[in-house]
Amino acid sequence: MAAFFPISELSAYQNKWTIKAKVTNKTPVRIFGQGKKVFSVELLDGAGGEIRASFFADAANKYLDVLQIGKVFTFSRGTVKVANKQYSTSNHRYELTFDRDAQVAEVAIKDGEATEEYKVIFNFVDFKTAHSKQVPCRADLCAVVVNFRPVATINAKDGRELVKRDITVVDDTAKSIDLTLWGENAKLPDSNFEGKPVVGFKNILLKDFNGSRVGGTVDTSVVMFKPEVPEAKRIQDWWSNGGSGQSFASVTTLVALAVKPLPCRVDLCGVVVGFKPVATVNTKEGKELVKRDITIADETGRSMDVTLWNAHGQRPEEDFEGNPTILVTSVLVKEWNGGRAGSTLEASMVVLKPDVPEGKKLEQWWSQGGSSQSIVSMGGSGGGGGAAAKAEHCTIADMRMKSEAVGEQAQLYKINARLSVVQTRKQGEQMPLHYKSCCEMKEGQYGKLPCNRRVDEAGFCAACGVAGKTATRMNLRCQFSDFSNSVWLTTFHEAAEKVVGMTADKVAEVEGANGRDMLDSAIMKGYFGQPMELTVRAKLDSYNGEPRANVTCIGAAPVDRPTRGRKMLADIQDMLAATA
Residues of this chain that bind Zn ion (CB under 5 A): 438, 440, 451, 453, 461, 463-464
Least CB distance to Zn ion at residue 452 (A): 7
Our CB check for Zn ion shows the closer of 207 and 453 to be 453
Q: In one letter, which amino acid is 474? A: M
- Contacts for 160 with CB less than 8 Å, ≥ 6 apart: none
* Residue among 59, 52, 56, 55 nearest 89 (CA): 52
Our CB check for Zn ion shows the closer of 198 and 438 to be 438
Our CB check for Zn ion shows the closer of 300 and 452 to be 452
d(CA 58, CA 98): 9
Q: Do the strands 30-32 and 36-44 form a parallel or antiparallel pair, or are they unpaired?
A: antiparallel
Least CB distance to Zn ion at residue 438 (A): 3
Least CB distance to Zn ion at residue 446 (A): 16
Our CB check for Zn ion shows the closer of 120 and 464 to be 464
Residue 357 near residue 247 (C-beta atoms within 8 A): yes
Least CB distance to Zn ion at residue 442 (A): 7
Our CB check for Zn ion shows the closer of 378 and 438 to be 438
d(CA 270, CA 251): 10
Least CB distance to Zn ion at residue 434 (A): 17
* Residue among 150, 247, 234, 241 nearest 194 (CA): 150
Least CB distance to Zn ion at residue 284 (A): 17
Q: What is the DSSP letter of 372?
A: G
Least CB distance to Zn ion at residue 470 (A): 9
Our CB check for Zn ion shows the closer of 61 and 452 to be 452
Q: How many residues does this entry show for the chain?
A: 580
- Measuring CA to CA, how many Å separate 25 from each of 6, 61, 86? 19, 18, 17
Least CB distance to Zn ion at residue 461 (A): 3
Our CB check for Zn ion shows the closer of 335 and 440 to be 440
d(CA 87, CA 155): 24
CA-CA-CA-CA dihedral for 492, 495, 501, 502, to nearest 10 = 50
Our CB check for Zn ion shows the closer of 48 and 450 to be 450
Question: Which residues are paired to 207 by β-bridges?
Answer: 214
d(CA 28, CA 433): 28
Half-sphere exposure of residue 394: CA atoms within 13 angstroms, side-chain side: 18
| 487 exposure class (CB count in 10 Å sphere: 0-12, 13-18, 19+) | buried
Our CB check for Zn ion shows the closer of 25 and 437 to be 437
Q: In one letter, which amino acid is 358? A: E
Residue 455 near residue 465 (C-beta atoms within 8 A): no
Least CB distance to Zn ion at residue 477 (A): 24
| 513 exposure class (CB count in 10 Å sphere: 0-12, 13-18, 19+) | exposed
Our CB check for Zn ion shows the closer of 294 and 438 to be 438
Contacts 24+ apart (CB under 8 A), 187-190: 187/151, 187/163, 188/223, 190/148, 190/150
Least CB distance to Zn ion at residue 463 (A): 5
